[in-house]
Amino acid sequence: MSDRDGRLAQLRELLPGAEVDGLVVSAPGNIFYLSGFRGSSGALLVTDQQCMLFSDFRYRLQAKEQAPDFEFVEVPRRLLAAVGEAAAAAGVSRLGYNPSHLSCELRDQLSEGAGSVPLAPAGALVEEMRATKSEEEVGLISAAAALADRALAHMAKMLRAGATEREVALEGEFYMRREGAEAASFDVIVASGPRSALPHAETTDRELATGDSVVIDIGARFSGYCSDITRTFAVGSAPPEMGEVYKVVYQAQRAAAAGVQAGVICGDVDGIARKIIEDAGYSDSFGHGLGHGVGIDVHEAPRLGKGEKKELAPGNVVTVEPGIYLEGTGGVRLEDLLVVFQNGSETITGSPMPSELPVV
């Protein structure tokens, strides 16, 4: 993939600013982004001159197939010690790593291998690169979103009294996978009735009942990239309170989505939705952030939450997903996925979002 050459060059340009001349890359998503390697165990070492992929015997052939531009180093055990030794052998004078992706134990291992080469926390260099998507990446995310859109339409038809949450969730996931998704990008959520008040509900064998609100949160992974979408429905009839709650969430979602464009502070986008929800009297019922970046990981930079100071940038792909959750009664969440442009945004998810709680 041509993108990958550019990424390595871009990362090398960032090293001096982080005051390192070598970088250990240990998070699987970052390894895939830079090298193409998708094994479950591995690490990269990037210096000005070298790029090496360390993994074990199990991935010997796969590494050569997926990451042909990287020198493959097979390591039987203590992978990070081998990375440290290689950095020392390559003459690295200060070896960077991301402290949020390296366990204390692995940092110690790296340090032992590196010997006299000092280690330096180098922030989230690769994560920051990943926050800006290329056109090709937006294309893959859009393909993943299209799969989830179709699955969602398929699932909406299954919503009737007596169907179980689990049946609906399974059908949705199977649909996406048959159509080419590598996986669901997270466990599909079908949360019905009082359970819809759990923002990250586990799907159960609960049978849907007339008058339930049902939150469906689903995403596909396609060619290594994720999507994420949420819609809320009512089964048979809409309970009056949930109808009102839906309208508030809808307004919050639309207003916040309209506020997405490059240069806007992430926390301010959250604030648009939060104010609408608070003004409607639900201050205590929207406890999570408005949204998050989506790409190789389903949760990545940037975060759209209260107090987040970063500015949105062109090429960011973010969810906008306000919700209101009433313990014991039910909840509503509405979520789209947007790509950020200089003067606005485009919605990647394609499912209709009615302005009133849809009764199915």
Q: Which residues bind its own copies (CB under 8 A)?
A: 38-40, 56-62, 76, 99-108, 121, 170, 174, 177-178, 183, 187, 197-202, 287-288, 327
Least distance from C-beta 196 to its own copies, angstroms?
A: 11
103 or 237, CB closer to its own copies? Answer: 103
- 26/132 with CB nearer its own copies: 26
DSSP summary character for residue 64: H
Contact 151, 173 (CB under 8 A): yes
Q: How far is the CB of 287 from its own copies (least distance, A)?
A: 3
Q: How far apart are CA 242 and CA 278, in angstroms?
A: 16
Give ∠ CA 229-234-240 in degrees, rounded to 5. Answer: 120
CB 40 to its own copies: min, Å:
7
- CB 166 → its own copies: shortest distance, Å? 9
CB of 80 to its own copies, least distance (A): 11
Q: Rounded to the nearest whole angstrom, what is the least distance from the CB of residue 13 to its own copies in the complex?
A: 25
As a whole number of angstroms, the distance between CA 263 and CA 340 comes to 10
Closer residue to its own copies, CB minimum distance, 328 or 343: 328
3 state SS of 121: strand
Nearer to its own copies, 259 or 289 (CB): 289
Calculate the dihedral angle through the C-alpha atoms of 29, 33, 34, 39, rounding to the nearest 10 degrees: 50
| Shortest Cβ 199–its own copies spacing (Å) | 4
Cis before residue 354, ω within 30 degrees of 0?
Answer: no
Least distance (Å) between residue 175 CB and its own copies: 11
CB-based contact 296:227 (threshold 8 Å): no
Which DSSP category does 216 fall into?
A: E
Q: Which residue matches tokens 């059908």?
A: 171
Nearer to its own copies, 149 or 173 (CB): 173
For its own copies, which is the closer residue by CB, 12 or 206?
206
Return phi, psi of residue 332, to 5°. -135, 135
Please give the distance of CA 195 from its chain centroid, rounded to a whole number: 24
* CA atoms within 13 Å, Cβ hemisphere of 257: 21
Residue 58 or 160: the one with the smaller Cβ distance to its own copies is 58
Nearer CB in complex with its own copies: 35/345: 35
Cβ 244 to its own copies shortest distance, Å: 21
Q: Give CA separation, 10 vs 4, 276, 312, 354, in Å.
A: 10, 40, 20, 42
User: Could you tell me the CA-to-CA distances from 160 to 76, 155, 212 in Å, in that order?
Assistant: 54, 10, 10
Nearer to its own copies, 150 or 177 (CB): 177
Q: Over the Cα atoms of the chain, what is R_g?
A: 22
Alpha carbons 118 and 74: distance in angstroms, whole number: 24
DSSP 21: S
